[in-house]
Amino acid sequence: MICLQVISNAGEARSQCMCALASARNGRFEEAEHCLNEASESLKKAHQIHTDLITKEANGEIQRISLILVHSEDIMMGAEITLALAREMVEMYKR
């Protein structure tokens, strides 16, 4: 369930990034900034959960790595890249 929380928050971040891009493309820059802020908050939640998992593993509480954990990390990294690119693209639309 913990891994699904990472996936859910990272997926929400990615969706908000796409919302920001659509808003910027249509000249709604305030809305785009709001979406980017929401994406950042969702990604922060995913990172907090991920950090908790790393801490538990370091303390010996987690003994094995599952495919769903690897998948959740992949989704989170994709969302991080999407957020960075969306921020740059919103700035490009502004110009």
Catalytic residues: 71
Compute the distance between CA of residue 40 and CA of residue 4 in angstroms, rounded to an integer.
Answer: 18
- Backbone angle region of 28, left / alpha / beta, with phi > 0 → left and psi within -120 to 50 → alpha: beta
- Backbone angle region of 60, left / alpha / beta, with phi > 0 → left and psi within -120 to 50 → alpha: left
